[in-house]
């Protein structure tokens, strides 16, 4: 059985065309372009923990953001959980030591209830 699978695999591989396209990727340029992306979204605030702000988007997907400056709205105290905000953030690539999707630039309360 293993021999039959090996033979079929060899035949399949030998008849499939091998194309090698060299793509000149400039990692630093790509990263700079990615980091320069400013994202504006209406998000629902879920909470704050350990320097991370947790939000949920319209599709109920988690959005984890961080902020190095003081925000105009005090989100840390928990008074705004469940409220909708218009959030502008600088998109960032996720790394192994950070789960943040970006850095908050501006937060505006849209849910005035």
From first to last of the 113 residues of the chain, give the pLDDT tens digit. 778 777 777 677 666 665 555 444 444 444 444 446 888 889 999 999 888 999 999 899 989 998 888 888 888 888 889 999 999 988 877 777 767 888 888 898 887 65
- In this prediction, residue 34 carries a pLDDT of 46
The whole-angstrom separation of Cα 22 and Cα 3 is 35
Structure tokens at 42: 């209406």
- In this prediction, residue 54 carries a pLDDT of 92
Q: In the Cβ-directed half-sphere of 105, how many Cα atoms lie within 13 Å?
A: 13
DSSP annotation of 59 reads T
CB 34 within 8 A of CB 94: no
Its pTM surpasses 0.75: no
- In this prediction, residue 42 carries a pLDDT of 92
**How is domain 37-113 classified at the architecture level of CATH?**
Beta Barrel (2.40)
Please enumerate, as own/partner, the contacts of 75-80 that have beta carbons within 8 Å and a separation of 24 or more: 75/45, 75/48, 75/107, 76/48, 78/47, 78/48, 80/45, 80/109
Residue identified by tokens 């079929």 is: 8
């Amino acid at each position: 059985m293993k021999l039959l699978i090996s033979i079929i695999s060899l035949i399949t591989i030998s008849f499939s065309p091998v194309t090698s396209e060299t793509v000149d990727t400039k990692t630093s340029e790509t990263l700079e372009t990615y980091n320069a992306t400013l994202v504006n979204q209406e998000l629902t605030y879920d909470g704050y923990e350990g320097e991370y702000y947790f939000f949920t988007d319209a599709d109920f997907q988690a959005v984890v953001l961080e902020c190095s400056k003081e925000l105009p709205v005090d989100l840390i105290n928990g008074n705004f959980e469940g409220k909708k905000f218009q959030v502008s953030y600088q998109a960032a690539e996720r790394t192994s030591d950070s789960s943040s999707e970006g850095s908050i630039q501006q937060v505006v309360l849209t849910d005035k209830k």
